[in-house]
Amino acid sequence: MVSRNLFKAGVWISPGALFFLGIISVNGQEIKQKKDTLREKDIDEVVVVAYGKAKKTSYTGSVATISSEKINNRPVTNITKALEGQVAGLQAVSASGQPGATATIRIRGIGSISASSNPLFVVDGIPFDGNINSISPNDIESISVLKDATASSLYGSRGANGVIIVTTKSGKKGESRINFNISQGFSSRAVKDYEQVTTDQYFQLYWEAMRNGYKSGQVSAQQAAQMATDNLVNNLGINPYGSNYAKPVGTDGKLLPGARPLWNDDWRDILQRVASRNQVDLDFSGGNEKGNYFFSLGYLDDKGIAIGSGFTKYSTRLKINNEVKKWLTVGANLSYTNSLQEAPPSSDSRTDNIINAARVIPSFYPYYERNPDGSYKLDANGNTIYDFGKYRPTSALQNQNAAATLPLDKNENREDNFSGKGYLDFTFLPELKFKSSFSIDLVNYNGHYYSNPLLGEGSEIGGSVTKTNSRTLSYTTSNILTYDKKFNQHHFNILAGQEFYHYEYQTISGSRSQFSLPYYYEPDAAALLGGFSGNSDKLGLLSFLGKAEYDFNNTYFISGSVRSDGSSRFSPQNRWGTFWSVGGSWKASNEQFIKNLNFFNQLTLRASYGGQGNDKLSTYYAYQSLYAFYNNLGEGGTVASRLPTPDLKWETNLNLNVGLEFAILKNRVKGNVEYFQRQSKDLLFDRPLAPSLGFSGYSANIGELKNTGFEFSLFTTPIKTDDFQWDVDVNVTTLKNRITKLPKGPIVTGTKLLQVRGSVYDFFIPEWVGVDPSNGAPLWKYVYQDANGNTVEGTTSEYAKATKTLQGSSLPKFSGGITTNITYKDFDLSALLTFSVGGKILDTDYTMLMSNGSNAGRAWSAEMLNRWTPENPNTDVPALSTTTNNWTSTSSRFLYSGTYARLKNVSIGYTLPSDYFGRLGLKKFRIYLQAENLLTFYKHKGMDPEQAIDGTTYYRYPAMRTITFGLQATL
């Protein structure tokens, strides 16, 4: 059976300075207030936690909440991209700007190496298996992030990497309401692409590369210069200077007087665009003493900056809660989303990558065919003709023109997401309740990839088509009994329950080629069968759980929980894992001696410890002996592909959390400081075997990993008057990731080295030394043993001899966000600045523009103007030559600082006075203007600093700057 794996640093100081000014203004001047207990509601807010709710000040676990106001109006297609900088301890990285793409989320570091480190999403109390981009931000009431063992252990193995609980909106008691929100805007690149040389500079630089390449003992410098002048146009395949300048660069390496390019076609102008974004949301809600309802409709059309890319979504949700009897409440929550993602290749080194294609073709190669005088060639109908560059060198994407082919091709991902939840809530006694829930998530995916037979690479095989369909079905049943009783100063809350989770996945894929007619893109229209495949998987998880909480006098709190999970991923003898947590907190501000200080409005100490498991392996059948099937001249063949590992067991996460929460200055300043330690044991690694045994290795539980850090959160209101309020919130997280145990020494995986006392993302690459000032050759460091056995360091110009050494980690030292909100009468202004300090990024995209001259026709970075010459010997760009020197190979030369700050969101709005619209029945009418990814502050220009967590660029879709104008109305 074959299994399938399903800043600049000063930038962020200024808001902090404003904060301190605000504190001064609080302490140093009289401010007229509406209330003295500012943010008192937030101090004792009710937060959504595992299988219920709790008061934040009395909860023993670590939980953070994001309100609907911080999510609903963000111009994002996926709610994961609205989480960055909002919560301490949560790292959300949007490596791809493709509309509809999901951000990578890590909570308190990296919990595993081989297994998944993704958090669990829970929607309205039930684990969610649908696509997270199917949830409309406008439907969200709040998001809770559960970070420690006490908060997430009740979800057992599913919550080993943290839990994100999404609570959707419900109707409220009172009259019915209708909310309408419409916005329109446009998107462009958030970060300007790498600066490139001009046509004039390119021709002179390439002449220099050719001359240096011709130089040898048999060819003099004068002869080499003449050869470069004679062959320049022929090597590049084009002469943008016209027939009057057949040899545009003279033997002195300079352009001939009067030579001017007849065109300048920047491919980024035709392959990228200013894109539109349109969104409409409508919801109806209401409620009474017996129940409530909420119904929403949503539409989103988010075009991408790359032509042929975009994301369109239609969504609807119906949520009903009703008290049928005094002892019985029932509810249902149904949602459906239909989406279409148009996603041309944009995340790898393929030659048809739309992002890379726009970057690597120089502007002297036209995108429409040109006459020698620079005018356009026209077809019989007088239309311009796309230039596919058959004359271009291979490095300049010969025979390709994405502007011509993409409108004829298809790169579509269609999804139907259905989610249904229902529950029965029985009240046997005021203190004894039982809730039975059922949830189902169904995702149907269809991928359609079509290459047309008329133009481009597809024309060589008569066009091709691949269709993929997958169906994911999961359901969860849970039965929870709770007992909540208060005896004088004693309060008990006990929970016991059972849960069952079932998951099944199936996929089928086929491809064909050789279309007999154009404009037919279904497989039936193609003649030649290329391939056909399909498989399916199932997974089951049975769980039993319990929790007990006690508090005395609303001051002393203790809690404990236990959950036992049985996973079908493991063999029967190792199937069950038991996970637990203990926690306690002391609300010191309720003590009389603290009250007598007359300083703290809130002071709570809390601590917790617990263990959780991780079963998210790369295969569902890791403990079994697996086989692969092959076609052997028309006969079926079976080959063993995996050794059985029946002893394989759960990864274990041990989480420690210690925190202090406080509020002072009449609740104007409140904050939270937490220390966490997250230790992962029994990590899954592939233990190597001798190749003679026929297997490269087998999976085993070996290795340990530890994440430690501090979280700081500060929420302040420096100023509040009758008409004016200013809030400033800051959160910062430090993180230290260390491997504490490994099998058989260090392990090299690509550009990373795994070793004890190192992180999971330590770069292990050759160290760049610089350029030899005597000859312009690149230099790398190498280490060798001399005749006496001593270790000697030296330099080499041969990349193959360079020694790999540790060059730092991609993980930041600390990260966070600063939020400010200002309201003045009917005006409101908010802004979010996110930042990341430390860590490194290996920019392999940039190396595409840094060839020494061996890739004829490939675009060049403006940095190449600083290449080595006899007149410029002190530089870190080697001499140009058509002979390769491998200097763009992976090394620390292309390792850049990951420190950056980004003005993630700015919003300004005006709510019209109700007098203007009262006659129309409007309760609220607000107009607003907002921007996403407005400004980015970083050092290495051209690279988007918000990259994948492993710190390596991979020709990904860049982040988009989106500016929208909208209006909100409430009836």
The confidence score (pLDDT) of residue 30 equals 37
The confidence score (pLDDT) of residue 186 equals 96
- Tell me the mean pLDDT in the region 952-965: 93
Residues in the chain: 971
Beta-bridged to residue 228, according to DSSP, are none
By mean pLDDT, which of 259-268, 498-507, 812-821, 920-929 is the weakest? 920-929
Task: Give dist(CA 561, CA 573) in Å, integer.
Answer: 24
The confidence score (pLDDT) of residue 646 equals 86
Question: The tokens of 496 are what?
Answer: 């016991």
Beta-bridged to residue 285, according to DSSP, are 177, 294
Taking CA 669 as the corner, what is the angle to CA 663 and CA 675, rounded to the nearest 5 degrees? 65
Half-sphere exposure of 896 (CA within 13 A, CB side): 23
Task: Give dist(CA 682, CA 501) in Å, integer.
Answer: 24
39 vs 22, more confident: 39
Sheet containing 747-749, strands listed edge to edge, beginning at the edge strand earlier in sequence: 747-749, 752-754, 762-766, 804-809
Q: Give, to the nearest 10 degrees, the angle between helix 221-236 and helix 199-214.
A: 130
675: Cβ contacts below 8 Å, ≥ 6 apart: 656, 657, 658, 659, 708, 709, 710, 711
Amino acid at 901: A
Half-sphere exposure of 365 (CA within 13 A, CB side): 29
101: Cβ contacts below 8 Å, ≥ 6 apart: 78, 94, 957
The confidence score (pLDDT) of residue 42 equals 52
Task: Give dist(CA 184, CA 282) in Å, integer.
Answer: 15
Helix (H, G, I), strand (E, B) or coil at 267: helix
pLDDT band for position 620 (cuts 50, 70, 90)? low
Residue 309 and residue 957 in contact, taking contact as beta carbons nearer than 8 Å: yes
Q: What torsion, rounded to 10 degrees, do the Cα atoms 616, 619, 621, 623 define? A: -70
Say if residue 41's pLDDT is above 50: no
For the chain, how long is the longest CA-to-CA vector?
102
Strands 724-734 and 600-614: unpaired
Question: In the chain, pLDDT over 70 holds for what percent of residues?
Answer: 95
The confidence score (pLDDT) of residue 236 equals 97
Question: In the chain, pLDDT over 90 holds for what percent of residues?
Answer: 73
- Tell me the mean pLDDT in the region 680-698: 78
List C-alpha distances in Å: 278 to 303, 497, 641, 899, 964. Answer: 9, 44, 49, 33, 9
Alpha helices (H) in 776-913, listed in sequence order: none
The closest of 354, 326, 198, 348 to 270, measured between CA atoms, is 354
The closest of 896, 891, 894 to 939, measured between CA atoms, is 896
What does R_g of the chain's alpha carbons equal in angstroms? 31
Task: Give dist(CA 851, CA 846) in Å, integer.
Answer: 10
DSSP codes, 670-683? EEEEEEEEEEEES-
| Phi-psi region at 179: left, alpha or beta (left = phi > 0; alpha = psi -120 to 50) | beta
Question: The tokens of 253 are what?
Answer: 């390496």
| Burial call 777-813: b when 16+ CB within 10 Å, e when fewer | bbbbbbeeeeeeeeeeeebbbebeebebbebbbbbbb
Say if residue 282's pLDDT is above 90: yes
Residue 236 and residue 228 in contact, taking contact as beta carbons nearer than 8 Å: no
The closest of 452, 348, 408 to 848, measured between CA atoms, is 348
Residue 780 and residue 769 in contact, taking contact as beta carbons nearer than 8 Å: yes
Say if residue 24's pLDDT is above 70: no
By mean pLDDT, which of 148-152, 195-199, 257-261, 556-560 is the weakest? 148-152
Element (H, E) at 226: helix 221-236
Question: The tokens of 551 are what?
Answer: 């508090």
Say if residue 19's pLDDT is above 60: no
| List of E strands, 751-856 | 752-754, 762-766, 768-771, 778-785, 791-796, 804-809, 814-824, 827-837, 840-842
486: Cβ contacts below 8 Å, ≥ 6 apart: 492
The confidence score (pLDDT) of residue 25 equals 37
Please state the pTM of the whole predicted model: 0.90
Helix (H, G, I), strand (E, B) or coil at 596: coil
The confidence score (pLDDT) of residue 50 equals 86
Say if residue 218's pLDDT is above 50: yes
Task: Give dist(CA 250, CA 204) in Å, integer.
Answer: 9
* Mean pLDDT of the chain, nearest integer: 90
- Tell me the mean pLDDT in the region 568-578: 89
pLDDT in tens, 223-247: 999 999 999 999 999 999 999 999 9
The confidence score (pLDDT) of residue 36 equals 42
| Burial call 435-458: b when 16+ CB within 10 Å, e when fewer | bebebbbbbebebbbbbbbebbeb
Task: Give dist(CA 601, CA 22) in Å, integer.
Answer: 19
Question: The tokens of 377 are what?
Answer: 């060639």
- Tell me the mean pLDDT in the region 482-491: 95
DSSP secondary structure letter of residue 384: B
Residue 346 and residue 955 in contact, taking contact as beta carbons nearer than 8 Å: yes
Task: Give dist(CA 886, CA 361) in Å, integer.
Answer: 21
The closest of 180, 187, 163 to 48, measured between CA atoms, is 163
Cα of first residue to Cα of last residue in the chain, in angstroms, is 58
Task: Give dist(CA 540, CA 558) in Å, integer.
Answer: 33
Residue 648 and residue 115 in contact, taking contact as beta carbons nearer than 8 Å: no
Q: What are phi and psi of 244, to 5 degrees?
A: -70, -15
By mean pLDDT, which of 12-21, 351-360, 664-673, 843-852 is the weakest? 12-21
Element (H, E) at 41: helix 40-43
688: Cβ contacts below 8 Å, ≥ 6 apart: 696, 697, 744
Say if residue 472's pLDDT is above 80: yes
The closest of 592, 598, 606, 726 to 664, measured between CA atoms, is 598
| Burial call 843-862: b when 16+ CB within 10 Å, e when fewer | bbbbbbbbbbbbbbbbbbbe
Taking CA 670 as the corner, what is the angle to CA 666 and CA 673, rounded to the nearest 5 degrees? 150
The closest of 247, 243, 214 to 232, measured between CA atoms, is 247
Q: What are phi and psi of 364, to 5 degrees?
A: -85, -5
| Burial call 297-315: b when 16+ CB within 10 Å, e when fewer | ebebbbbbbbbbbbbbbeb
352: number of Cβ within 10 Å: 21
Highest average pLDDT, of 24-28, 146-150, 875-879, comes from 875-879
List C-alpha distances in Å: 816 to 90, 277, 518. Answer: 9, 28, 52
948: number of Cβ within 10 Å: 18
The closest of 812, 778, 588, 580 to 707, measured between CA atoms, is 812
Amino acid at 526: A
pLDDT in tens, 691-719: 777 777 777 888 899 999 999 999 999 99
Say if residue 309's pLDDT is above 50: yes
69 vs 782, more confident: 782
DSSP codes, 882-908? SS---TTSSSGGGEEE--EEEEEEEEE
The confidence score (pLDDT) of residue 5 equals 34
Beta-bridged to residue 631, according to DSSP, are 636
Element (H, E) at 271: helix 267-271
Amino acid at 502: H
The confidence score (pLDDT) of residue 44 equals 61
